[in-house]
Amino acid sequence: MSYLDRTLKILADKFAQDYIKWILSGSFMLVEKLTTEFPTITRYADLVYKVKDKEGTQYIFHLEFQAQKSKDPMNLRMLGYNVRLLEQYKIPVYSTVIYLTEEAYEEDQGYFKSIFLGKEVLIFEYNVIKLWELDGLSLLKERILGLYPLLGLTKLSEPKENALNNIIKEIKRIKDPIISKDMLFSFKVLSGLKHSRDLLDALIRKEEIMESAILKEIYEEALQEELKKGLELGRLETLQSNIMGVLISRFEVPYKTEKQLEEKIKSIKSIPVLQKLHIDAVKAQSFEDFLKLLEKLEV
């Protein structure tokens, strides 16, 4: 699973009430996050919550982020999720899909209709949000923190660099330093779907996001997954890729050095050694410290 999926999952979990407020209105409150039992709902971007209105009536709120085109028709997927959730929890379900980019969107009208002999025998509707059509400044003014990381994917004024920088300044004004760093990291990850890495690196320095709790949680989850997978086909390549991903995310690595290091990492064929290097990449205080640890290893 990618850093993008992990970031979306953690972000939506930490700020679930913000998404509920934005999509369902402030009259709904989070009751609990639900863990589905369906094999079809295993993607990290699929999130299911139990919510309640002011009268205490409970509902299921299903949220999905879509960053790439769906292999199956989205309306059928959403219908399948809705029916299974309704069958399990026996309370009304409201589904929403948030398209992160235009490339992921395929004329999704937000409904499924089945007609038999000229009669509509099934009508199912769900909510569709296309970020690139939303005004970023208007969303920013709503002061809903959980939405801040999405703002780089909204409709922004020209020049884009100035608009992005204004959002970043607002994120840095958040009083809680932990939340501010989490927002900054998530904003950079998600904005990378639309804006160049060079531009984002210029606007957000690596040291500004290194202490993000979300970033650390992603690293820890990735590390735990690798430790549990066992020896399997492609694991060497996965570990090697993860090590490079951590280093590039955390430190300013010159391009020439990056390529030389990548060759060095790819030459290591020992899974225990790569696991140790992955841990070192996560914990190293600087890129130079990691290189020293790499030199000490017997490979």
Q: Quote the pLDDT of residue 251.
A: 86
- Identify the pLDDT of residue 42: 45
Give the chain's domains with CATH numbers: 3-132 (3.40.1350), 136-208 (no CATH), 230-296 (no CATH)
What's the whole-number mean pLDDT along residues 59-71? 91
- Using alpha carbons only, how large is the chain's radius of gyration in Å? 21
Average pLDDT, the chain: 87
Prior bond to 149 cis, omega within 30? no
Strands of 58-66's sheet in order across:
29-33, 46-52, 58-66, 93-99, 127-130
Residue-wise pLDDT for 120-155, tens only, equals 888 999 999 999 999 999 999 999 999 999 999 999
Tell me the three state secondary structure of residue 103: helix
Distance of alpha carbon 271 from alpha carbon 201, whole angstroms: 32
More confident residue, 44 or 66: 66
